[in-house]
Amino acid sequence: MRFFNTASGIKEEFSKDSKKLGLYICGPTVYSETHLGHAKSYVSFDILKRWLTYKGYHVTHIQNFTDVSDETAEGALREGVDEFTFTQKYEKEFLDSMALLSNTYASKYTRASEFVGKIAEETKKLLESGEAYQTDQGVFVRINQDDHGKLLRVNLEESLAEGTSDVDSGPKESPHDTLLWGPPLEGGNSWEVDGLPPGRPGWHLECTIMSSSELDLPIDIHWGGIDLIYPHHETEMILAEKIGLGHYCDFWMHNGLMEDAEGKLSKSRSERVSLSQIFEECPPASLRFYLLTHHYRAFTPYTPDSLLRACQEAEKLGINAVDCMVVDPTDPRDDDELAPLVSRFETALANDLDTPAAMNVLRDLDVIAGNRIKQNGNLAPISGMYSIFECVLGLFS
């Protein structure tokens, strides 16, 4: 099978001597409702996990919750509650939404707040080695412009629409330096650690520490939205090198974003569409269907009309599926009419998770299923084929 590796910019053969795999996906910052962009990212990742499991791999899937951030402190202050109480509410809302979308659960969920001790320890080491320095706005790590580019694969300054000084702003020696340990924030929790001023961990080091603490290195596959390539994933990789972790990750995979006619659905334009809004009009299973009709790396268009059409098609394709899946399944590979569909389906998924091609197989299966139902034909292998879609794509659950 071949997946697109962001680090190389090409599809690469993915194979492991061991059947044990470690996957890490950057989780949400839990300060607001789960939105359409989350659905795009986590459904896409779920297909990867399901496909690898289908292929016989034993997957350890780690996902974090960023529960220490500027946004979580601001939200807790606004609502007049403890930061942990505030973030727990949105963690639960996220997990409930993912369950409705038929996403599988992670092997383990980690929280930044649970790793403050390790983050502080590594921050102190970087200070002692001279790799980091302290200001009145926190502790920053020194990063050269040339350190970046392993994922962007282009000159940093030429590739960014915004200046690098906008990332982790503050009294820094260089615009590329990034925050390891920041000052206390009103509304947020803070920690007192010997050798550091009272404060809070910075975003990028949180993920480096959480992933490396829970998975063997190098991580087999690290996933996130394309908007996390810079600065987050670039900086994660740099920090892993600086704290002595060596080769951090073999495969970097990134999904495209949701967009409307004007481009990305942006929180800065207050255009994030919550899943609770979507589910009022469209069943979660239909939203999953819609997302799978677009490739995970594509920017997926969103309009209410396009979502409605997907709901209608999903409902139509589900009619024959329900009628067939009440029959005990048999292996569709043993059926001459269905064996080519299995081959097409597996070829599509092996080609960088080509779910649009797999959905075309589903449409062809629906025709065959309809004919057999009318003719009182053998539905057992049809049921078996639908079971593959349920297993790998999470449809008809």
pLDDT at 170: 66
Is 159 in the same domain as 222? yes
Residue 6 lies in a domain: no
Same domain for 242 and 315?
no
Classify residue 44: in a domain, yes or no.
yes
CATH number at residue 236: 3.40.50.620
332-339: long-range contacts, CB 8 A cutoff, minimum separation 24: 332/381, 332/382, 332/384, 332/385, 332/388, 334/381, 335/378, 335/381, 337/368, 338/365, 338/368, 338/381, 338/382, 338/384, 338/385
Say if residue 343 is in the same domain as residue 218.
Answer: no
233 and 89 share a domain? yes
Number of C-beta neighbours around residue 327 at 10 A: 15
CA distance 103 to 252: 21
**Domain identity same for 249 and 385:** no
In a domain, 262, yes or no: no
User: What burial class does residue 31 get, using C-beta atoms within 10 Å of its C-beta: 0-12 exposed, 13-18 middle, 19+ buried?
Assistant: buried
pLDDT in tens, 141-188: 999 888 888 898 765 555 444 444 455 656 788 888 999 999 999 999
Residue bearing tokens 């200001």: 135
pLDDT number for residue 150: 86
Domain that holds residue 350: 282-393
| Shared-domain flag, residues 159 and 236 | yes
Distances (CA, A) of 273 to 37, 94, 375: 8, 14, 45
Q: What is the pLDDT of residue 265?
A: 61
Residue 1 lies in a domain: no
Residue 274 lies in a domain: no
- As for how many domains the chain has, the answer is 2
Q: pLDDT at position 259, please?
A: 83
Are the CB atoms for 244 and 212 separated by under 8 Å?
no
Task: Look up the pTM and report it.
Answer: 0.94
> Given 255, 271, 295, which residue is the final one in a domain?
255
Three-state secondary structure string covering the chain? CEEEECCCCEEEECCCCCCEEEEEECCCECCCCCEHHHHHHHHHHHHHHHHHHHCCCEEEEEEEEECCCHHHHHHHHHHCCCHHHHHHHHHHHHHHHHHHCCCCCCCEEEEHHHHHHHHHHHHHHHHHHCCEEEECCEEEECCCHHHCCCCCCCCHHHHCCCCHHHCCCCCCCCCCCEEEEECCCCCCCCECCCCCCCEEECHHHHHHHHHHHHCCCCEEEEEEEHHHHHHHHHHHHHHHHHCCCCCCEEEEEEECCEEECCEECCCCCCCCCEHHHHHHHCCHHHHHHHHHCCCCCCCEECCHHHHHHHHHHHHHHHHHHHHHHCCCCCCHHHCCCCHHHHHHHHHHHHECCCHHHHHHHHHHHHHHHHHHHHCCCCCHHHHHHHHHHHHHHCCCC
Domain final position from 213, 236, 255: 255
pLDDT number for residue 271: 59
- Looking at residue 261, what is its pLDDT? 54
List the chain residues with pLDDT less than 50. 159-165, 268-270
Pairing state between β 178-182 and 138-141: antiparallel
Task: Say if residue 352 is in the same domain as residue 242.
Answer: no
Same domain, 245 and 367: no
* Euclidean distance between CA atoms 68 and 115, whole angstroms: 11
Query: Which of 255, 273, 306 is a domain's end point?
Result: 255
Tens digit of pLDDT for each residue in 245-266? Answer: 999 999 999 999 998 755 556 5
Query: What does the pLDDT read at residue 363?
Result: 98
Cα–Cα dist 26/28, whole Å: 7
Give domain status of residue 245, yes or no. Answer: yes
Provide the token pair at 157.
């300054």
Burial level of 128, CB count in 10 A (0-12/13-18/19+)?
A: exposed
Tell me: do 343 and 206 sit in the same domain. no
Do residue 224 and residue 307 come from a single domain?
A: no
Q: Is residue 234 part of a domain?
A: yes
Looking at the fold, whether 239 and 321 belong to one and the same domain comes out as no
Q: Within this chain, do residues 249 and 209 fall inside the same structural domain, yes or no?
A: yes
Q: Is residue 33 situated within a structural domain?
A: yes
Contact 256, 27 (CB under 8 A): no
